[in-house]
Amino acid sequence: MRRDFDLSLYFIVGPSHVAGDPVALVQAAVQGGVSLIQLRDKTSGTRQMVDSARRLLTVLNGTGVKLFINDRVDVALACGAYGVHLGASDMTPEDARRIAGDGLAIGVTVKTVDEVRRIDPAIVDYASIGGVFDTKSKQNDSAPLGLSGLREMVSALDALAPEMPRCAIAGIDLEKAGSVAACGLDGVCTISAIALAPNAEDAARAIRQTVDANKRGRESAFA
């Protein structure tokens, strides 16, 4: 099933990363060129998560920016999100697809070449590669990939599913976004570079322009 989402600038929000209400921050980030939002909430109850997701969907309505929910297939289905993002310790993509059918796009985090090779392209809609650099936003048990490790992961994904959309995550700011995107990606994923910026809209715009100038040969959906 062909999916309609844009990984160019993927922004993760949630109570662990954003102090207070994320709605205004998301509005500003989308104005600057963020193309996809993920709600990552490991602490709130289910009802609160669904309510938060619905508020974000109201903000995103009419923008073309899609909402993914981290881990929680039930929340994604309940709120009407576009997709779900799964990490290594979350539900398997196979089980998520069994529950959701074609109703959700499914993205996965991959940290090793072996994890890339285990992707089933018939089930998974995109891959997020990381962590590329050190980051304070999330605890990583493994050493950062760096650009050379990122290129190796991209090569493995090209061998498995060359058309699969892919982005990279962890420690990616304006200074690093161009070199990361140039490794054969469709975009980058960020948290702090936008969430902690003095002006989220300006920060998003600068990163988006850098990514669009360096990412692999796909036309930008953002004008």
| 87 to 25, 66, 127, 183, 185: CA distances (angstroms) | 25, 19, 10, 22, 19
CB 52 within 8 A of CB 20: no
- Tell me if 109 is assigned to a ligand binding site: yes
- Tell me if 171 is assigned to a ligand binding site: yes
- Tell me if 40 is assigned to a ligand binding site: yes
- Tell me if 191 is assigned to a ligand binding site: yes
- Tell me if 41 is assigned to a ligand binding site: yes
The token pair at 105 is 């796009």
- Tell me if 114 is assigned to a ligand binding site: no
**Rounded CA gap, 204 and 26, in Å?**
10
- Tell me if 135 is assigned to a ligand binding site: yes
User: Helices then strands (H, E): number in the chain?
Assistant: 9, 8
- Tell me if 138 is assigned to a ligand binding site: yes
Q: How many residues appear in the chain?
A: 223
Q: Kindly report the CA angle at 6 between 17 and 35, in degrees rounded to 5?
A: 45
**Rounded CA gap, 134 and 112, in Å?**
16
Question: How buried is residue 19: exposed, middle or buried, by Cβ count under 10 Å (0-12/13-18/19+)?
Answer: exposed
- Tell me if 214 is assigned to a ligand binding site: no
DSSP 143: P
The token pair at 137 is 């936003």
- Tell me if 71 is assigned to a ligand binding site: yes
Q: Residues forming the annotated binding site for Mg(2+)?
A: 71, 90
Q: Residues forming the annotated binding site?
A: 38-42, 70-71, 90, 109, 135-138, 171, 191-192
